[in-house]
Amino acid sequence: MTNLLITSCGGLTSYNLIYLIKKKTKFKNLRIHITDKKKNVKAKLFSDSFTSLPDTKNKNYFKSIMKIVNNKQIKVIIPGSDEEAEFFSKKKKYFSKKNI
């Protein structure tokens, strides 16, 4: 089982991405966990779990992400916004050491 975390899933593009990953992929052992700042996100329909997180600039963002990563045993993270892509690129070495 591979656990996948997709961040910032509030938009239509994320909804379509999660739908395609969940319903159309040949990999059936995927569990998709999503996050967003908003609580009412349509992508929740196709995900296995949802967590509302603060903005990447919030001092608790990293701690919140790590709680999800550890609790859900995440192996792949797909950032859903430019800000998150920048955040994760700055933390690339940290996540690489953890095989994420």
What local confidence, expressed as pLDDT, does residue 75 receive?
93
pTM of the predicted structure, to 2 decimals: 0.87
The three-state secondary structure class of 43 is: helix
What local confidence, expressed as pLDDT, does residue 40 receive?
83
Q: Count Cβ neighbours within 10 Å for each residue of 27-57 and write b for 16 or more, e otherwise.
A: eeeebbbbbbeeeebebbebbeebbebeebe
What local confidence, expressed as pLDDT, does residue 87 receive?
94
On whether the CB atoms of residues 29 and 3 are closer than 8 A, the answer is no
pLDDT in tens, the chain (100 residues): 788 888 877 666 777 888 888 777 777 788 999 998 888 887 787 788 999 999 899 999 999 999 999 999 999 999 988 899 999 999 999 999 999 9
